């Protein structure tokens, strides 16, 4: 957030410089008159810096007043405990920001305006050392602005694509219309009773007793020993559940059959990753093998299930064993007979489930969540990052377009006689509009060329933090570049058309 704030402040400073120089044509004669009346360059610089100081001071006061509403607005997207109080430290920080912004934004325009010769200024002409000499700098600043905006645009697109990928990728199990009820420290008989009551409710399609949902934060595990040609003792995730777990979530068996229920059954289903970790080339080769817990409890592998995600997409799929252990099954998965999780029907079913819950656990509030929502929590940080990036992108685009507007205003003012002459010689409105807009589109293309490798590097580095991620491709850059070009044309198009439609006789008559 500090980095985003710095970028926005730098863009605002660049914007102020561009807009100040663009509007300085209107103050040339004022500078000439002040110099003739005895004002030196130092006094003029002081005057212009004072004007900038007043504008920046008003901005600082407004920002201080808006901090608390902004924190309240972004409450869900910033760390807990962030607050603002106007103390000595805050006052010193704001004072430093005020001085820095005033000097950074106002010094160059002040030096530029005060450099005009009085004779040329009174005639309304530009000196070689004045405004006309800063064209390259202004264009460079516009390129920097749009390059920064493009980095934010590309970053937002990449983050959005990754979130879309995580939401829509095949997780290896069904999540629609499934809710999870947790009853930590409940006894097996209490869970059986609650499951029986819920199963009989209208609107409940199916239920399953489980240790936890297949994907989420809470996952236990332990060591399992395989006594094959090579002893393999490794840490494995445990999924405790009754025999309805696999069909409930629509999981696919690659080989073998489902396990049987009961403490005495001693059967397991393992995932494909664990089968490969044990050294089997085919899932069918793992069926019938024995696994040992604590070197004494033997479990037969009855089947191998296709891999499914257990944690966030940052983590790789881990070896997992699924078996029945009633004392550890303190969660109930409930499949509702509705599509999705919205609507009055779903709320009515949840209310009836809560009524049954209170009959079994009258003193404990029900711990309830939809599985889709629980999975969404796993990439909550990415969602927050996306929101902040999108907010910063909107602000940077707005500031960059204002800077481009300022440069277009300056260019149109300087070239109005050229436009008049071209129209007299037969140029159409379209010809003139293209002439004035072409330069700005070129600046945006240059910005894209600069921003693309930078954005690609940081986006690719961010994606590498995910074990399962979307792919980077040139379409992201083309989308961002196309959006930037359209924004540039919309920004300067109005000024270009206005300049092109002016009466050439009126323009050429001006001194």
pLDDT, mean of residues 184-213? 91
Name the token pair of 6.
């710095």
Six-digit token pair at 387? 């929101």
pLDDT bracket for residue 236 (50, 70, 90): very high
Instruction: Identify which of 132, 127, 134 has the alpha carbon closest to the alpha carbon of residue 108.
Output: 134
What span, in angstroms and rounded, lies between the C-alpha atoms of 17 and 106? 7
Q: Cα 443 from chain centroid? A: 26
What are residue 267's DSSP bridge partners?
300
Place of tokens 């994606």: 463
Q: How many CA atoms lie within 13 A of 199 on its CB side?
A: 11
397 has pLDDT over 70: yes
Q: CA-CA-CA-CA torsion for 398, 400, 401, 406, nearest 10 degrees?
A: 130
pLDDT at residue 26, as a whole number: 66
| Per-residue confidence (pLDDT) for residue 435, from 0 to 100 | 80
pLDDT score, position 135: 66
In this predicted structure, the answer to whether residue 187 has a pLDDT above a threshold of 80 is yes
User: What's the pLDDT score for residue 481?
Assistant: 86
Q: Is there a single domain that holds both residue 433 and residue 459?
A: yes
DSSP codes, 295-355: TTEEEEEEEEEPP---S-TTSPPPPEEEE--GGG--EEEEEESSSTT-SHHHHHHHHHHHH
Residue-wise pLDDT tens digits, 433-460: 788 788 888 888 899 899 999 999 999 9
| Residue 318 and residue 197 in one domain | yes
Q: Examine the domain organization and report whether 195 and 210 are in the same domain.
A: yes
Q: Of 233, 232, 229, 145, nearest to 450 (Cα)?
A: 145
Average pLDDT of span 191-215 = 91
Can you tell me the distance from the alpha carbon of 101 to that of 172, in angstroms, rounded to the nearest whole number?
A: 54
Same structural domain, 287 and 205: yes
Residue with tokens 């410089």: 17
Q: Judge if 155 and 279 occupy the same domain.
A: no
Q: In the numeric block, which tokens belong to residue 390?
A: 């999108």
Tell me the C-alpha distance between 303 and 320, whole Å.
12
Quick one: DSSP state of residue 250?
Answer: T
Query: Greater confidence, 357 or 14?
Result: 357
Q: Are residues 326 and 418 in the same domain?
A: no
Domain containing 297 equals 178-378
* Element of type H or E holding 7: helix 2-23
User: Which range, of 64-73, 186-195, 407-416, averages the lowest pLDDT?
Assistant: 407-416
Which of 100, 129, 158 delimits the end of a domain?
129
Q: Are residues 196 and 313 in the same domain?
A: yes
Q: Tell me the pLDDT tens digit for each residue of 167-181.
A: 888 999 998 889 999
* Contact of 485 with 433, CB cutoff 8 Å: no
Domain boundary residue among 320, 346, 378?
378
* pLDDT value at residue 386: 84
Distances (CA, A) of 18 to 29, 344, 422: 20, 56, 27
Backbone angles phi, psi at 179, to 5 degrees: -120, 160
- Is the Cβ–Cβ distance between 84 and 67 less than 8 Å? yes
The band of 254, judged by pLDDT with boundaries at 50, 70 and 90, is very high
Domain end among 330, 363, 378: 378
The pLDDT tens digits of the residues spanning 77-90 come to 777 777 788 888 88
Q: Name, of 234-248, 344-358, 385-399, 401-415, the range with top average pLDDT.
A: 234-248
Q: Mean pLDDT across the stretch 385-395?
A: 84
Q: Of 31-40, 76-85, 288-297, 332-341, which one has max mean pLDDT?
A: 288-297
Judgement on whether residues 358 and 468 belong to the same structural domain of the protein: no
Residue range 149-165: mean pLDDT, rounded = 89
pLDDT band at 8 (very low <50, low <70, confident <90, very high): confident
pLDDT higher than 50, residue 130: no
Alpha-carbon torsion (174, 175, 177, 183), positive or negative:
positive
Q: How many domains does the chain have?
A: 3
Q: Are residues 207 and 349 in the same domain?
A: yes
CA distance 118 to 240: 88
CA distance linking residue 390 with residue 171, whole number of Å: 27
**Does the pLDDT of residue 220 top 50, yes or no?**
yes
Residue 399 confidence class, pLDDT cut points 50, 70, 90: confident
Nearest to 16 by CA among 421, 407, 306: 407
For residue 222, the 8-state DSSP code is E
Q: Is the pLDDT of residue 98 over 90?
A: yes
C-alpha separations of 483 from 157, 229, 289, 457, 476 in Å: 12, 61, 58, 20, 11
Clarify whether residues 362 and 386 are in a common domain: no
Same domain for 241 and 265, yes or no, is yes
Among the ranges given (12-16, 159-163, 310-314, 336-340), the one the predictor scored with the smallest mean pLDDT: 336-340
CA angle 349/350/352 to nearest 5° reads 65
For residue range 266-288, list pLDDT tens digits in order.
899 999 999 999 999 999 999 99
* Ranges 68-77, 196-205, 368-377, most confident: 196-205
User: What phi and psi values does residue 336 have, to the nearest 5 degrees?
Assistant: -85, 150
For all residues of the chain together, what is the average pLDDT? Answer: 84
**CB-based contact 210:398 (threshold 8 Å):** no
User: Does residue 129 carry a pLDDT above 80?
Assistant: no
Q: pTM of this prediction?
A: 0.77
Q: Within its chain, how far is the Cα of 126 from the centroid?
A: 46
User: Is the confidence at residue 332, as pLDDT, over 50?
Assistant: yes
Residue 505 pLDDT > 80, yes or no? no
Pair 96, 198 in one domain: no
Going by their DSSP bridges, the two strands 220-227 and 204-210 should be labelled as unpaired
Apex CA 172: angle with CA 170 and CA 176, to 5°? 75
Model confidence pLDDT, tens digit, residues 49-73: 998 999 999 999 999 889 888 888 8
Placement of tokens 């209170």 in the chain: 358
The pLDDT score that the predictor gives to residue 133 is 46
The predicted model gives 295-299 an average pLDDT of 80
* Residue that wins the pLDDT comparison between 136 and 239: 239
* Contact (Cβ atoms closer than 8 angstroms) between residue 418 and residue 33: no
């Amino acid at each position: 957030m500090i980095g985003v704030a710095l970028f926005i402040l730098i863009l605002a400073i660049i914007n102020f410089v561009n807009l100040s120089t663009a509007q300085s044509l209107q103050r040339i004669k004022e500078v000439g008159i002040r110099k003739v009346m005895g004002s030196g360059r130092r006094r003029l610089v002081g005057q212009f810096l004072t004007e900038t100081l007043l504008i920046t001071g008003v901005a600082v006061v407004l920002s201080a007043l808006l901090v608390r509403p902004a924190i309240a607005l972004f409450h869900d997207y910033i760390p807990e405990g962030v607050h603002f109080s106007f103390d000595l430290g805050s006052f010193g920080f704001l004072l430093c920001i005020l001085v820095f912004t005033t000097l950074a934004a106002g010094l160059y325009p002040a030096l530029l305006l005060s450099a005009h010769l009085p004779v040329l200024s009174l005639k309304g002409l530009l000196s070689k050392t004045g405004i006309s000499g800063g064209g390259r700098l202004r264009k460079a600043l516009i390129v920097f602005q749009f390059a920064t905006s493009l980095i934010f645009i590309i970053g937002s697109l990449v983050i959005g694509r990754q979130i879309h990928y995580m939401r829509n990728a095949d997780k290896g199990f069904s999540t629609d219309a499934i809710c999870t009820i947790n009853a930590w420290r409940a006894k097996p008989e209490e869970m059986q009773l609650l499951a029986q009551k819920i199963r009989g409710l209208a609107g409940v399609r199916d239920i399953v007793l489980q240790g936890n949902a297949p994907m989420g934060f809470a996952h236990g595990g332990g060591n399992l020993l395989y006594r094959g040609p090579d002893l393999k003792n490794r840490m494995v995730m445990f999924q405790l559940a009754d025999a309805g777990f696999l069909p409930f979530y629509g999981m696919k068996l690659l080989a073998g059959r489902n396990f049987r229920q009961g403490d005495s059954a001693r059967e397991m289903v393992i995932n494909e990753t664990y089968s490969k970790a044990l050294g089997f080339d085919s899932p069918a080769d793992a069926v019938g093998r024995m696994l040992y817990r604590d070197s004494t409890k033997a479990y037969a592998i009855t089947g191998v299930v296709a891999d499914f995600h257990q944690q966030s997409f940052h983590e790789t799929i881990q070896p997992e064993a699924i078996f029945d252990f009633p004392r550890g099954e303190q969660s109930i998965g409930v499949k509702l007979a509705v599509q999705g999780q919205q609507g009055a029907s779903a709320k009515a079913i949840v209310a009836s489930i809560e009524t049954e819950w209170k009959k079994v656990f009258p003193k404990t509030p029900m711990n309830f969540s939809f599985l889709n929502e629980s999975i969404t929590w796993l990439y909550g940080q990415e969602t927050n990052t996306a929101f902040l990036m999108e907010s910063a992108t909107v602000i940077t685009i707005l500031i960059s377009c204002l800077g481009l507007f300022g440069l277009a205003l300056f260019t149109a003012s300087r070239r109005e006689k050229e436009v008049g002459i071209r129209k007299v010689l037969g140029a159409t409105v379209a010809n003139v509009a293209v002439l004035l807009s072409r330069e700005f589109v070129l600046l945006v293309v240059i910005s894209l060329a600069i921003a693309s490798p930078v954005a690609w590097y940081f986006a690719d580095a961010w994606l590498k933090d995910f074990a399962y991620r979307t792919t980077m491709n040139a379409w992201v850059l083309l989308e961002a570049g196309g959006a930037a070009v359209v924004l540039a044309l919309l920004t300067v198009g109005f000024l270009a058309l206005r300049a092109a439609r002016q009466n050439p006789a009126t323009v050429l008559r001006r001194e």
